[in-house]
Amino acid sequence: MTRSLQAVAYHRSSALESGPLGQRLGLETSRGATPTGQVDHPRFFSGFVTAPRIAAAALLAVADVAAARYFQPQRPASYDPVVTGSGDRLRFESFSGCGGVLARLDLLSEGLDGGGVGHGTTNVDVNHPLREALSRVGSDDPLHLRVGPEELAVTTLDGPVVEKKVPLPDRWLRGFAEAQVVAADFELRAELPAAEAVLFLRGLPRVTGARGAGRGAMWVVPAGRGLRPTTRPAPGAVCLPGPERLAALQRVLRHARALRVYGPAAADASPSAGAWEAVLPGMRLTLTLSPDVTRGFSGEGGVLSSLASAEAQEDAELISVLLSWEPRIDLAELAASSGLTVERVRAALVYLGTSGRVGYDASEAAYFHRELPYDSGRVERHNPRLKDARALVDRGAVVLDGEMATVRAQDGHVHRVRTDGGVLTCTCLWWAKYRGGRGPCKHALAVRLVRRGEAGGRSVSASVAQQAPVSEGDAR
């Protein structure tokens, strides 16, 4: 797995302090993006939270996911959560080390008191001493929350600097891009009242398997006011892939007012991703799960079609200028402002999501703007299928023949790609294994690139090459 190190620097460590007016939680920020450009230590909020104990538990749940690996657990490796100020709320996000769980805490306007929320995105320091202190927060004393440095620190900047070196797997970074594409297809499938939510979550299996994979996926169907397990998907069924991955919700379970479940329509018995949202006073905690414990979001392939589209790339440049840190992006309004169709705006947002500039909130069925502190070209450069597809095009390996196409691999094996109901199918082993469930294969992507005029001016022959055996090494 390709990895890199990212330096995250803070003026000081985040801390929870006690004083005569209650407790003060100071969350320190790193370098981040704001409407005025890059700022070393942006300040997003200074005020009180209306439910101190619940907010502390929810922040710990986000930190739990950042430190977790649900598949093949290894030594703990925690990444500082990302915080986005959207004017009316604070969003804290983290990905699990294995790339299969995305946690997001939305501190809504009704959960904040006494201060305006700024705009921008950065990392926020959540260290081990702070986690221990948050676990002891009670509900009696007021809790003052500060996200960003104090005014004195902004002017002097002469305090000690805390720097962390954080390992970032490339597949972990790609997961942010894929998660927003997957979540855009979710709909509300079930909503459990507090009592039923507690009974359901406490009854889930918690023991993982020898390799950390647990029991795999299970299915649940609405039954009265709750959910009951079923052996196979039925009308209205919801997939729960790796139920032990919902363990982080246990921290806020007793405070939950409801549990909402989001997911796609169950088309077959294949496991599918889903989002599980704990509704809390003034806030929401959401865990988005990949389709399998062994399967991170990075390989879902949902962004490949947009990455391969020159039109989406050009549209994304226009849409990026119109984004303004809105907590809820209105597609129709963007379409009117840009002169593009809603479909093209949606494709452009998917493209922007590959660099972390767009997320998706299933609860509001809307995209939102953020700016993750990563190299904007990293996702495309390190996506192996798109990289291989461009190499096939550059070698002139694609031959079109009407609705059919032939792609000759470097080792001489030949694959046939055809259009079936608007979907490109292929004779390679990747397609045979996933049937499009994890996006197009590299051969279909190469055909799409050629048909969109990205063949570099080469003439395309109408002849068809002879079919040859397929090797699995060429089918990824």
Domain ranges of the chain: 9-167, 180-299, 304-379, 383-474
pLDDT of residue 216: 59
Q: What residue type is assigned to position 107 of the chain?
A: L
Q: What residue type is assigned to position 200 of the chain?
A: F
Total number of residues shown for the chain: 476
57 in Cβ contact with 154 (< 8 Å): no
10 in Cβ contact with 28 (< 8 Å): yes
CATH architecture of 180-299: Roll (3.10)
Lookup result for tokens 């997001």: 104
Q: How many CB atoms lie within 10 A of CB 403?
A: 10
b/e burial code for range 371-393 (CB count within 10 A of at least 16 → b): bbbeeeebbbebbebbebbbebb
Local confidence pLDDT in tens for the 476 residues of the chain: 555 667 788 888 999 998 777 889 999 999 898 998 888 899 999 999 999 999 999 999 999 998 888 876 665 556 789 999 999 999 999 988 888 899 999 999 999 998 789 999 999 999 989 999 999 888 777 889 999 987 533 333 344 567 776 666 666 677 887 888 889 889 999 999 999 999 999 888 765 444 444 455 788 988 888 898 887 777 778 889 889 999 999 999 999 999 999 998 766 677 889 999 999 999 999 999 998 888 878 665 666 666 666 677 788 889 988 988 888 999 999 999 999 999 889 888 888 887 778 899 999 999 999 987 665 555 556 567 888 888 899 989 999 988 899 999 877 789 999 987 777 889 998 888 877 777 788 898 889 888 877 444 333 333 333 333 333 333 34
Residue 425: its H or E element: strand 423-426
Backbone phi, psi, residue 33, to 5°: -95, 140
**Would you give the DSSP letter of residue 81?**
P
pLDDT of residue 355: 75
Which of 397, 413, 411, 385 minimizes the C-alpha distance to 447? 397
Residue 187: its H or E element: strand 187-193
pLDDT of residue 381: 61
Which of 304, 285, 301 minimizes the C-alpha distance to 101? 285
CATH of domain 304-379: 1.10.10.10
